[in-house]
Chains A and B, each alone.
Chain A
Amino acid sequence: MLLQFNGFHGTSVSAAKQIVSSNYETSIGDDEWLGNGVYFFVSGISSKPEEQAKKWAIAEAWDKDKQVYKYKNYCVINSVIEVEEDNFIDLTKEEGVEILTYLAECFEKKLNKISKRFKAVDGLLINLAREEGILPIDVVKGNFYIKFAKERIKRITLRTSNCTICTVYEPTKNITNSNIIEIGDIKDETK
């Protein structure tokens, strides 16, 4: 069965121009929440994922080292994600968590070697599973705690998830349509 849902991606206007003219670039790194892919806020824990995408774009605009905003306008893109049910892992459900637990068992030795024992390895596990072709994974969804500008400024950290995010590993395959839904000024949150 083909699943279809809306994902919301928050970014700068210049990145949005690239996205609508060509396509998304994937975020790379084993430290990424769900591995190398394009990240979207989706409905789940929050009923306003588009609002979270906007807040993410604003939070990411701040350059902590230089203490300046890297960009002054945010942009929210609505993308339609389509995926075969068999190639989709839903980590908000028991079956999805069981798959991840199985992957952790499969890669136990590798994990020990990489000595990532004290870090979250969700992303690393998915990257390994995809690289080694253990499972056909196109899209993964999960609940996470994400810090936006307010939480970063006030240094609020919770264990409780506040967002449902979704990762698409091959944008050209699983994203059928992308539209800009909002562009706006970023207000200086440091004032």
Chain B
Amino acid sequence: MKIQLDNWKVINVNFSSLKDEPREDNSFDLSTGHFFPKEIDKSFGVGFEIEIKDKFFDLFVEAIFMFKLDEDITEEFKLSNFPKINAPAIAFPFLRAYVSNLTLQSGFDPVILPSINFVQFAKDKQESEAE
């Protein structure tokens, strides 16, 4: 089975610099999801929502990455590691670069998002569900 990133789009950005005192600490929150459009048999999408609370600004980015397969998507595939681990791992560096450029071009120090271990990320979710 061949899988490739077909296209990606940022669908929502909200950037606001803090008008008052800067924050003491930065924080970063990430959530992911994947969806399977009924009308396209061999494609699926991975969605990201990133919320950054920098010392000097708030940034929210929502993006969608579409992947293309060379065969039909089965229910087993949907529940497999690929959409949950592999696809986000392929997509995340693009988003990381986008966030870094956006913050730099906005006149702030560039935000370099930490690299995410999506295997561990998925494992943590699974373990908390099993508890």
Contact = CB atoms under 8 A, between A and B. Distances in A.
Contacts of A20: 75, 79
Nearest to A74: B33
Nearest to B130: A14
**Range for the number of chain B residues in contact with chain A:** 20 to 34
B38 interface: yes
A183 B84 contact: yes
Interface residues of A, number: 20
A17 interface: yes
B56 interface: no
B33 A180 contact: no
Nearest to B30: A185
- Of A12, A69, A78, A184, chain B has the most CB atoms within 10 Å of the CB of A184
B33 A182 contact: yes
A182 B31 contact: no
A12 B35 contact: no
Question: Secondary structure at chain A's binding surface: helix, strand, loop or mixed?
Answer: strand
Interface in A12-42: 12-14, 16-17, 20
A112 B122 CA distance: 52
A72 interface: yes
A183 B129 contact: no
B129 A185 contact: no
Contacts of B49: 187
B35 A185 contact: no
A180 B128 contact: no
Nearest to B129: A71
Contact of B35 (A72, A181, A187): A181
A72 B122 CA distance: 10
Contacts of B31: 184-185, 187
Interface of B: 29, 31-38, 47, 49, 75, 78-79, 83-84, 124-125, 128-129
Listed from nearest, the 7 A-B pairs whose CB atoms lie closest are: A184-B33, A185-B31, A72-B125, A182-B35, A20-B75, A71-B129, A180-B78
Given A182-B33, A183-B35, A184-B35, 14 more contacts: A13-B79, A70-B129, A72-B125, A72-B128, A73-B125, A180-B78, A181-B35, A183-B33, A183-B34, A184-B31, A184-B33, A184-B34, A185-B32, A185-B125
